[in-house]
Structure 1
Amino acid sequence: MADSIISRGQGIASADPDPSVYLQIGIVQKALLGLLSLPKVSHCVGQDYRNYVQKGSDSILGKLLNASQDTSYPLDRLSLGRGLLMEYIDSDHNQTVDAALDALNESIELQKRNQYGGLWYFTYPNWSYLDGMFSYTSFASLYTSFFNPSDTKNTTDRIIYQLDLLWSHCRDNATGLLFHGYDASKSASWADPVTGASPVVWGRALGWYFMALVDWLEMNTFQTQSLQWAQVHSRFVALADAIVEAADPASGAWWQVLNFSGREGNYIESSGSSMFVYGLYKGVRLGYLSSAAERHRETANRAYEYLVDTFVVKNDNGTLGWNGTVSVCSLNSPATYEVFFSMSFGNVGLVANENDQYYVTQPLLFNSVHGSASFVLASLENEMQAI
């Protein structure tokens, strides 16, 4: 699947990219760099992957050199940190790459925050999303450990504070899952009047947050005796347990909207499901889910088999395709499950209002790297269970 992603030229920015390309490059780079840990990946193949990661970084490098401008992009921009840091090391400290890393780091301080200090995910005032934590937590940890290790405690405190804000505002006490995001001002049409939370648990948003937790735990194993590490670990375990409970009994995988499982219009979605498989497998492998490891592994095994059987497409040219990935879901919408209808005065009857068609009516994309690269990561962890 990784080779198929490369064959399609994905994870490389065009000359005039839209904001979604940052996370597309970032998740492809994470998948390719992750494959380097497999014993069966030869030096030559591994170098091909590293070269492709560098190509992706270079395709966007020129747009990352101004910290103020960087804040106009979603927090997803920070997912580029892994690839840039690899290139910085491999290139013997290329100054342009160094400048991009510094600008991205500075942009975190310039990022607008809501009244609680929560990072805005994008340009929407006072809105914080689960999605951004995948990029933010890894970048902040990697940058600090490489360039400013004396600031590790402060960086850790800042990361945990952001994770905690989302946990406290978005956690659904009934299921243990987290809603997509929250509006600190509580002025959005979808905002809970007490917490500001949105009403829908979107699978892929929760997947980004789940991966953020397990990746941060792995990157900070030197802190295992600290209260901060223990706190993130306890949240990861609680969320893993809730995700296992939310798995669809029939397929073993997870719904697009997790708090309306089985509801008309809902469906099993491939990117969020891949992310959950990755997180569960990784948590088991690293010993973070030891109290119920077998149950978590069995859940991941069953879901992984479903992903392979249902979403992998064998193309005539020998490559693999990937199906069943929702395009995007944003809180810049009604943020509702249903398709609402509004009166059209120019026609008789009720007609669909496009702005009200959301979580279960967003289009599915074939070969979306949000799904295929996440599947590479799930497959990597599936294979590493046996190593």
Structure 2
Amino acid sequence: MITRRTAVASGLGLAASLLLPSTRASAAPARPSTSAALPEDLSRAVVDSTLARIPDPADFGAWGYPQGLFLLGAHRVHQRLGEPSYLDYIRRWVDRSVDANGHIDNSFDTLDSMQPGNLLLVLHEETGDPRYRIAADSIRQRFTTYPRTADGAMWHGTSKTNELWADGVFMAQPFLLRYGLAYGDEQYAYEQVTRNLTTYFAHQKADNGLLYHAFDADGDAPWHPDPATGTSGYFWGRAIGWTAMTHIEVLELLPADHPSRPRLIENVRHLARGFVRYQDPASGRWFQVVDRGEDDRNWTETSASAMYTLMLSEAVRQGYVQGAEYERAARRGLEGVLAKVTASGDGMVDVHDISVGTNVGDLEFYYERARSTNDLHGLGALLLMNERLRH
């Protein structure tokens, strides 16, 4: 099984670990005053607080990508700490959907439904139980028949004919690549994953360094695509964040000599320029509608901000981008995300201002999305950011 690198920093190293290549000799940035009382190991506190609130995996929700995102983050904390209760929780949640024969009662007709498959891969590696390999195989087999656009990009869902949503790449492509590397299916995985990332990006790319939320090859989606480009009208923060994280996850696993690497790195550079351009100078975060920070109906959103911070910090660390502006944006992003985390005297932490699940919509739709505390989208994004910054 291919796994991510083991984290090496600990404790208050969260902020200190964002020591980017040209600044390693400098002092670590100070924590924002609102985060001064945060626990020393924030990742552990986020996982512990969530499991304390939802101690029974039966209450954690059905098979779905928000649950899969958070538990993927929890597994990365488990990799660092070796905390058996985290792995046990993941296993008990997955076992609610995987029967004794490895069957999952799911048709996998959306990319979203494939994202928890990442947990099947880690459980097979951790436990050796063949049920998890059988279940993962069923998702892999679905890719063979899953519908695609004429240029080979997977539809967001079988009911979303010829629609590509920027959210979707994170839901399917990292699983497919990890599956291929784990089980000798690399060539299919390399071809499909890189084709989907590059095709999605080409259709959704905007000149300002961002991505439109969605593209419809038919031009008849209910969210009224632009008749000339097929794109939706707005730049929703978390959709772009999903794509940003996917590029980092894929580049980490893709061979160094793979011919698609330069194009994927150029995609990262495109997004990095947009992230620097539209970062809120007051908070260090990014807005729900990324390019409209001047609109007082808009608001800075925590999950997207964590995703952008993850991509920027890793892009600098890997040398995909160079320049003080990217280092500064990553540091300010970290500070801004931490400022949306609060701790109480009993050790519980809360993460605020997270957009709930969101479809493609008009401007008011994005502005009026509920601003949740401890929504799994934000908790999972924070865990992935924090654990990666511990490299």
CA contact (8 A) 2:278 2:286 kept: yes
User: Contact (CA 8 Å) 1:11, 1:24: kept in 2 or not?
Assistant: no
- Contact 2:248–2:311 (Cα < 8 Å) also in 1: yes
Report the identity percentage: 23
Q: TM-score, normalised by structure 1?
A: 0.82
The correspondence of residues 84-233 of structure 1 with structure 2, limited to 5 A, is: 84-92=120-128, 94-122=129-157, 123-149=159-185, 152-173=186-207, 175-188=208-221, 189-220=223-254, 223-233=255-265
What do you get for the CA RMSD once the two structures are aligned?
2.3
Unpaired runs of 5+ in structure 2? 1-45
| Cα deviation code 1:238-272 (max 9, x no counterpart) | 22222122211221110000132221311001111
Cα distance in 2, alignment partners of residues 219 and 178 from structure 1? 24
**1:1-387 to 2 correspondences below 5 Å:** 1-9=46-54, 12=57, 14=59, 17=62, 21-36=63-78, 38=80, 41=81, 43=82, 45=83, 47-62=84-99, 65=103, 69-72=106-109, 74-92=110-128, 94-122=129-157, 123-149=159-185, 152-173=186-207, 175-188=208-221, 189-220=223-254, 223-289=255-321, 291-292=322-323, 294-309=324-339, 311-331=340-360, 335-338=361-364, 358-384=365-391
Flag structure 1 segments of 5+ consecutive residues without an equivalent: 339-357
Deviations 1:69-128 (A, max 9, x none): 4233x3122222322112112222x23212210111111222222343321112222211
* 1:128 counterpart SS class: strand
Structure-2 separation of matches of 1:107 and 1:195: 30
CA distance in 1, matches of 2:150, 2:58: 34
Amino acid at match of 1:321: D
Q: Deviations over 1:32-73 (max 9, x none)?
A: 2222454xx3x3x2x332222222322332598369x4233x
How many residues matched? 343
Q: Secondary structure at the match of 1:82?
A: helix
Deviations 1:261-316 (A, max 9, x none): 22131100111111111122222333333x22x4323212112112212x212235
Output the CA distance in 2 between the equivalents of 1:318 and 1:154.
46
| Alpha-carbon distance, 1:227 to partner | 1.6
Residue 60 of structure 1 aligns to a residue in which SS? Answer: coil
Inter-partner Cα distance in structure 2 for 1:190 and 1:364: 25
- Mapped to 1, the partners of 2:60 and 2:47 lie a distance apart of 23
Whether the aligned pair in 2 keeps the contact of 1:177 and 1:242 (CA below 8 Å) is yes
Q: TM-score w.r.t. structure 2 length?
A: 0.81
**TM-superposition CA deviations, 1:154-190 (whole Å, max 9, x none):** 32122122112221211111x1210111111001242
Q: Which has the higher contact order (CA 8 A, sep 6+)?
A: 2
Structure 1 pair 379/10, CA: closer, same or farther in 2 (3 Å)? Answer: farther
Counterpart-to-counterpart distance in 2, 1:320 and 1:198? 36
Matching residue's letter, 1:297: E
Counterpart secondary structure, 1:258: coil
Question: 1:191 Cα shift?
Answer: 0.3
CA shift in 2, pair 1:166/1:370, >3 Å: same
**Distance in 2, Cα, partners of 1:247 & 1:60:** 40
